[in-house]
Amino acid sequence: MEKRDYYQVLNVQKNASGEEIKKSYRRLAMKYHPDRNPDNKQAEDNFKEVKEAYEILSDAQKRAAYDQFGHAGIDASMGGGGFGGGFGGGFGDIGDIFESVFGGGTRGGSQNVYRGNDLRYDLGLSLEEVAGGTEVKIRVPTQVTCDTCHGSGAKPGSSPKMCPHCGGHGQVRMTRGFFSVQQACPSCRGTGKIIPAPCPQCHSSGRVQEHKTLSVKVPPGVDSGDRIRLSGEGEAGVNGGPTGDLYVQVNVRPHPIFTRENNHLFCEVPISLVSAALGGELEAPTLNGRVVLKIPPETQTGKQFRIRGKGVKPVRGGLAGDLHCRVVVETPVNLTPQQKELLREFEKSMHKSKRHSPKQSSWLDGVKKFFEDMKN
């Protein structure tokens, strides 16, 4: 019987990518698999044909020979017999299809080695610490390799044995209907071994709980939510697997004076009524000292003054942000009778002219016009 074109068998174009070929093969293999088509000779033949086509087109060298010489270019390399000779040499079940196409299912016990878990440590810092950078000591609970059994989980003088149920693979194959799947071995819980004499220190786990003290270098400019990675400082791996990492999560505590937005700082500066009206100088705080802030006459509440370079430096380098000082005019409190009388005299003198309170005058004019419009 003359063989069909492999591209037609897989229902793909000749310029199809490897991923397109794999996707089509997966669909057709599932469609024609004998487990899904019992006692269907045509489905079995179709499955063999699909498998043969994929074997050639998924191999770059064989595909090149097929594209140039057709079936003659690949029959010789296959010993003249092609893919004939029965179904027994193909996939045993659908689980094997997934392992072949997706690369799933490690064999030979390699699944028994696991990387240790990553750990997280929440580190609270002040704004001053993150602005200038610091180095802190932290104490972290973690799982480390047991010194008594050196990670084997077995009592000194003994050793783990290969699990007889799974043959050391750590997984067993379970068949349900036409599906065949792998799952962790219930006897060894996926480790591939059993321990007749457990270690008295770690009770066969190979790891013990300990606390360790680490030094963390905090670079200048970090902010809440930033993470500092300490490679290899997480939990110990299983069966000689690599150690996990420790991630230090930075949380900046609220500051009594400053608030931070990116690399800029903001603060409120209260000033007296007299300073706002006549102007003057006052000392404003920064993270590294004080600066003199000049207040011009007739300053209103909400006026912002920017002091360049007094913010926070970016964590990846560059110029520091700015400090923005927002002026708040403070109303006098706890006045003496004499002070109250002076303010009343001052208010009388202010009423003689609207030019002393331009915002108040324009606001009152707007309110008056609003009510007049309502009447009309």
Predicted pLDDT of residue 248: 93
Q: Are 263 and 311 in contact (CB under 8 A)?
A: yes
Nearest to 230 by CA among 356, 339, 142: 142
Asked if pLDDT for residue 78 goes beyond 50, the answer is no
Predicted pLDDT of residue 234: 86
pLDDT tens digits, 125-168: 999 999 989 999 999 887 788 888 888 888 888 888 888 888 77
Nearest to 263 by CA among 301, 226, 302, 292: 226
Beta-bridge partners for 137: 215
pLDDT tens digits, 9-37: 899 888 888 888 988 998 898 888 877 88
Fold agreement between 109-159+199-254 and 264-329: yes
Strand pairing report for 264-271 and 259-261? antiparallel
Nearest to 286 by CA among 253, 250, 255: 255
**Residue of higher predicted confidence among 66 and 361:** 66
- 3-state helix, strand and coil shares in percent for the chain, rounded to the nearest 5: 30, 25, 45
Predicted pLDDT of residue 100: 43
Beta-bridge partners for 97: none
- Most confidently modeled of 74-78, 184-188, 237-241, 288-292? 288-292
Asked if pLDDT for residue 58 goes beyond 90, the answer is no
What average pLDDT does this structure show over 94-118?
52
- Helices 60-69 and 41-57, interaxial angle, to 10°? 100
pLDDT tens digits, 256-282: 999 999 999 999 989 888 888 888 888
* Tokens at 28, concatenated: 């057709």
Q: Are 106 and 169 in contact (CB under 8 A)?
A: no
Q: How confident is the model at residue 312 (pLDDT cuts 50, 70, 90)?
A: very high
**Residue of higher predicted confidence among 367 and 257:** 257
Share of the chain above pLDDT 70, in %: 82
Asked if pLDDT for residue 336 goes beyond 60, the answer is yes
Predicted pLDDT of residue 117: 85
Q: How confident is the model at residue 306 (pLDDT cuts 50, 70, 90)?
A: very high
Give the count of beta carbons closer than 10 Å to the beta carbon of residue 44. 17
113-117, 209-213, 334-338, 368-372: least confidently modelled range: 368-372
Q: What does the domain layout of the chain look like in residue ranges?
A: 6-102, 109-159+199-254, 161-194, 264-329, 337-375
**Residue 17, C-beta contacts closer than 8 angstroms, at least 6 positions apart:** none
Q: To the nearest whole number, what is the mean pLDDT of the chain?
A: 80
pLDDT tens digits, 162-173: 888 887 777 887
Give the count of beta carbons closer than 10 Å to the beta carbon of residue 68. 9
Superfamily of segment(s) 264-329: Urease metallochaperone UreE, N-terminal domain (2.60.260.20)
3-state secondary structure of 329: strand
* Tokens at 319, concatenated: 């110029």
* Tokens at 360, concatenated: 């108040």
Strand pairing report for 246-252 and 227-230? antiparallel
Round to whole Å and give the CA distance between 359 and 353.
13
Asked if pLDDT for residue 77 goes beyond 60, the answer is no
Size of the chain in residues: 376
Around 329, how many Cα atoms within 13 Å sit in the side-chain half-sphere?
16
**Burial 189-224, CB ≥16 within 10 A → b, else e:** ebbbbbbeebbeebebbbbbeeeeeeebebebbbbe
Asked if pLDDT for residue 103 goes beyond 60, the answer is no
Asked if pLDDT for residue 50 goes beyond 70, the answer is yes
Asked if pLDDT for residue 230 goes beyond 50, the answer is yes
Predicted pLDDT of residue 41: 86
Q: Cα-Cα-Cα-Cα dihedral of 95, 97, 102, 104, to 10°?
A: 30
38-52, 57-71, 109-123: least confidently modelled range: 109-123
Asked if pLDDT for residue 104 goes beyond 50, the answer is no
Asked if pLDDT for residue 191 goes beyond 80, the answer is no
Nearest to 74 by CA among 90, 60, 87: 60
Under CATH, which architecture does the 6-102 domain have? Orthogonal Bundle (1.10)
Candidates 3.40.50.300, 3.40.50.170, 2.60.260.20, 3.40.1160.10; CATH matching 109-159+199-254: 2.60.260.20
What average pLDDT does this structure show over 57-84?
65
Beta-bridge partners for 307: 323
Q: Are 326 and 267 in contact (CB under 8 A)?
A: yes
Predicted pLDDT of residue 274: 87
